[in-house]
Amino acid sequence: MHLQADRMRLSDIEAQILDLERSLSALLAEKRLVQERIDSYRYPVLTLPNEIVSEILVHVLPPYPDPLPLFGTLSPTTLTHICRKWREVALATPMLWRAMRFFEFHPLDHQRRISDIWMRRSGSCPLSIQIVGHRSPCVSELLPAMVPHRARWGHLRLQTPQPSPSAIDGPMPQLLHLHLEATEAWHDVLAFREVPLLRSVVINTLALSAVILPWVQLTSLTLYSFKSSECIPILQQTPNLIHCSLHLWSDLDIIDHSGPDISLPCLESLAFRGSLGVVTKFLVTFIVPALRSLETPETFLWFDPIESLKSFISKSGCELQDVCISGNRTTREAAYFVAFPSIPNFSFTGPYIREWNDDEESEDESNSDSSDGESDSDSV
């Protein structure tokens, strides 16, 4: 009895296995077809020529000469993690590795090793280098390692308590922009003599006393933390300036500047920014016939902003197109528009505030009106 039942059960199992094998065979055949279609498919992005991929990768990063961190998500190294092909393209694209920023709080040896790799990958591209630190070893240890590539320095920014003169002493045929910021008085002099392409300089007053620069060839200059009197000797050596930004400082509340006129015949944009004190009568010493853009705090036009600005424009004979009045104002916007109808673009970054004597004048007017009223009553 059991034998017959087992034989029937075995027959059923074999039939089920046969059905499953047929189903499996069909699935395996379909799998092969699907896999063949997948294998034949090419992602459009992977069909792009390497030159196009390289251009895409370059545009993913901030534009040159903005310096890039050596590590982290904003580093070009991140682009080598997308896929094998893009890694190969990234490593073969020199423009990805030409701008670098160093930090004093990361191990300097590690940064130096990574920068050596970047230098090799950057090929013959001009370099943008930024070393910012308040510790002397940061610059003295990192910058000398880049001396072999000094001929490729295109943009250089150093913020340091003490520089490294030996790394600077030599030709820099591709240097276009130089930013120097001393955090304390420098003991050694930095001489930038063989820099034929240098056109733009940013410098603070502490660094200036220890730097030799070819001022006459500059077209852009930014001076930080300078007194107005300290600017004059520099500006008198820069006749070819097109852009100038002066961040003035004074230890007094108000300084009436008195000094010789400053003639900058090529200057097109001039910006004043103040810190702590107010410097007056400085703007009117500028003779800038080509000026088109002016930015200044209203306090630099003390005491009569409208007349001071008129005097400046008349003396220079310039045709201003853009004027920005920064900081708090005691003159209403409408007054500027009425006084200077030929200037198409006026902007204001600070609020209008009433002068302290506005209230006194209002009170005087009220008292005068009251007195007049009482006199009239008495006469009646």
Question: Which pLDDT value is given to residue 257?
Answer: 59
Question: Which residue's structure tokens are 């004190």?
Answer: 277
Chunk the chain into consecutive blocks of 10 residues (it has 380) and report each block's average pLDDT, rounded to whole numbers: 82 92 92 89 83 95 96 93 93 98 87 95 97 75 88 95 84 98 89 97 94 98 90 95 92 61 97 73 91 94 90 96 94 96 96 63 42 40
Amino acid at 103: F
Side-chain half-sphere of 367: how many Cα atoms within 13 Å? 6
pLDDT of residue 254: 53
What was the pLDDT predicted at 357? Answer: 45
Distance from C-alpha of 6 to C-alpha of 201, rounded to nearest angstrom: 98
Buried b (16+ CB within 10 A) or exposed e, 228-256: beebbebbeebeebbbbbbbbbbeeeebe
Is 202 in a helix, a strand, or coil? Answer: strand
Q: Give the pLDDT of residue 344.
A: 97
* pLDDT on residue 365: 38
pLDDT value of position 107 = 87
Contact 247, 271 (CB under 8 A): no
Predicted TM-score (pTM) of the model is 0.81
**Got the DSSP string for 78-146?**
GGGGS-HHHHHHHHT-GGGGSEEEEETTS-HHHHHHHHHHHHHHTTT--EEEEEE-SSHHHHHHHGGGG
Q: Where are the beta strands (DSSP E) in the chain?
A: 68-69, 99-103, 127-132, 153-160, 177-182, 190-191, 200-204, 211-212, 220-226, 243-256, 262-263, 269-280, 286-287, 293-297, 322-326, 345-348
Going along the chain from its start, the domains and CATH numbers come out as: 214-375 (3.80.10)
Per-residue model confidence (pLDDT) at position 258 = 66
> Locate tokens 């030409």: which residue?
98
The pLDDT value given to residue 300: 85
